[in-house]
Chains A and B, each alone.
Chain A
């Protein structure tokens, strides 16, 4: 039973680490800030959750799992706020490339800047 849990934990850790590498590659190759933000959320939410679940499967202690759950709740509650602030700052600073946007709902707004 514990061997099975260890194998699952290693698999989740490897997948989470793979997501971090993919985010690094995307940070280098993607053209503008909004697409880089899209890539950056993968290790921040999914990769972090996978790694935390893998860590919890390895530790198997109630106190440790509570701490890991706290980390997960913190990061999932704060990541959307930070991403919203960065995206808003990027759009208002003119960093979003207009030719890459499919829909620009703020294009006609008077107070967008």
Chain B
């Protein structure tokens, strides 16, 4: 049983260290998100393994919290990465380089997909000229209908 514990600990630690290397070296923020998800899965597996070996269920609620927290972090950082990296025409374009109207037009698909109420949606009534939304255009008409 001790041998099995050592083997499992070695395997989990190897996976965690390699995920950490990808977090440090990752060329983009999305690589780091993926590696962070793997690291979080390894942490959850470590806590479950510890609970299994010691037959102690104290740490099990931590697993439920971690599984939800990792999802929230990954989705929010992915939305942030869309906003930062969407203008690919200048490859190293920052938000400060662009006029503020473009910035407004780019951030419009944030509240709708996050399930916020339409009253918080301050998008302009005309569709964005950049055309960077994957959603159908009739979605833009819905908030004004609900306001009336």
Interface contact B75-A82, CB-CB below 8 Å: yes
Report the stretch among B13-21, B95-103, B115-123, B140-148 that lies at the interface. Answer: B13-21
Task: Assess the B38–A13 pair: CB atoms within 8 A.
Answer: no
Please state if A78 and B68 are interface contacts (CB–CB under 8 Å). Answer: yes
A16 & B133 in contact (Cβ 8 Å cutoff): no
Number of A-B contacts (CB under 8 A): 191
Does A85 contact B8, Cβ atoms closer than 8 Å?
no
* Interface size, chain A (Cβ < 8 Å): 56
Using a CB–CB distance below 8 Å, which chain B residues touch chain A? 1, 4, 7-8, 11-12, 14-19, 21-22, 28, 30-31, 33-35, 37-38, 41-42, 44-45, 48-49, 51-53, 55, 57, 60-61, 63-64, 67-68, 70-71, 74-75, 78-79, 81-82, 85-86, 88, 131-134
Q: Which residues of A contact B (CB under 8 A)?
A: 9-10, 13-14, 16-18, 20-25, 27-28, 33, 36-37, 40, 43-44, 47-48, 51-52, 54-55, 57-59, 61, 63-64, 67-68, 70-71, 74-75, 78-79, 81-82, 85-86, 88-90, 92-95, 110-113
**Closest 6 pairs (CB-CB, A-B):** A24-B18, A78-B71, A20-B15, A17-B11, A93-B85, A24-B15
